[in-house]
Amino acid sequence: MSRNQDEANKAPVLTISANPALDLSVGLAQLVPGALHRAESVELTAAGKGVNMARVLAALGHPVCVTGFLGKDNDAAFVDAFADMGVEDAFVRLPGATRINTKLTEQDGRVSDINAPGLALEEEHWQRLLDTLDQRLSQPQLRPAAVMIGGSLPPGIAPQALGELISRVKAAGIPVWADTSGEALRVAVKAGADAVKPNVEELADWAGRALPGDDAIHQATLELFAAGVGDVVVSAGASGVTWLGQQGLWQSLPPAVKVSNTVCAGDTLFAGLLHGVLCEWSAEQALRFATALSAEAVRHTGVGCSDAGDFSDLLSDTRVRRRNDVEARGVMA
């Protein structure tokens, strides 16, 4: 991705990864439970949703600061990654080691995740993160244009703490985009997150029911928007993206690509969409770019790259349409 996107240079972003990980990506021909496997590829990467989103935004020209919690024992990979990305490292260091998550990727693109719980935190650790956040919010030269929160919460931190963090950022007049799931998603919605990005499974969990088809997904998306979220972005893999907000209801269908690894696709989509919003692009342009960038990401390990030689073709082959101008809060009231 190019770093020469001048229109984004005045839009700094802060990303928060409370529970990052080193991703151990193992490529396999096919996963057979209980069998001996020989890996076709092995890669260890500093990751976590907030880190992945930072990688996308930094490559697109945004000044980015990353924060959250890292274990002192194995932070070298993160330090190197942040230097390569060109982002500011404001992570709180804790005793111990950052977790390692294992991603088993088969040739057909299916990924099996084995996620470790993460470092156990105490209240004083969380307070250190809040202090770091307050420092950046209170100083004009450090103040971000947006905050992205990604991933799960570490052991020892209740979901309600996320709500307090979101409320603190919103009180400073800064939009908060959150990509999380389960109870943390419910808390983020109640706290008034400006944007959330569930996949279909996470949306079904929030709604408390199965979502067997497009109509059911559409209805649950309306309900989530009506709950007070500024923008709802629902990712459904090859079936496309639904984006509902003040700009109306939009849908996109990605271009057909050979799927190799889907791990960073959602993070790429969300960060790419924020990029478009911060650049004040039209809804169609922003969604087209984010969808194409996400499609580029699934072709390899890592986030999407807008410098790919055929990225203009991916943009052209991404279908975007506006469905309607429904005011969901009025409909669902």
pLDDT in tens, 73-119: 999 999 999 999 999 999 999 999 999 999 998 988 788 989 999 99
Q: Which two tokens stand for residue 173?
A: 């007049």
d(CA 65, CA 326): 36
Strand partners, 101: 23
d(CA 329, CA 216): 17
d(CA 13, CA 142): 10
Residue 301: band (very low, low, confident or very high) from pLDDT cuts 50, 70, 90: confident
- Residues 6-332: name the CATH superfamily: Ribokinase (3.40.1190.20)
**DSSP-derived 3-state class of residue 26:** strand
Return the pLDDT at 325: 55
Strand order in 100-106's β-sheet? 41-47, 21-28, 100-106, 111-114
- Average pLDDT estimate for 205-219: 93
Least confident of 1-5, 72-76, 224-228, 244-248: 1-5
Interstrand relation of 64-71 and 146-150 (parallel, antiparallel or unpaired): unpaired
Q: Please report how the helices 200-207 and 182-190 are oriented relative to each other, as an axis angle in degrees rounded to 10.
A: 70
- Residues noted as catalytic: 267
d(CA 147, CA 175): 6
Q: In degrees rounded to 5, what are phi and psi of residue 38?
A: -115, 120
Q: In degrees rounded to 5, what are phi and psi of residue 117?
A: -70, -35
Q: Where are the domains of the chain?
A: 6-332
**Does residue 199 have a pLDDT over 80?**
yes
**Does residue 8 have a pLDDT over 90?**
no
pLDDT in tens, 122-144: 999 999 999 999 999 999 999 99
Strand partners, 94: 71
**Does residue 324 have a pLDDT over 80?**
no
Using CA atoms, how far residue 2 sits from 49, 56, 60, 182, in Å, is 21, 10, 6, 35
- Average pLDDT estimate for 237-264: 92
Q: Which two tokens stand for residue 143?
A: 């103040």
Residue carrying structure tokens 């790259």 = 305
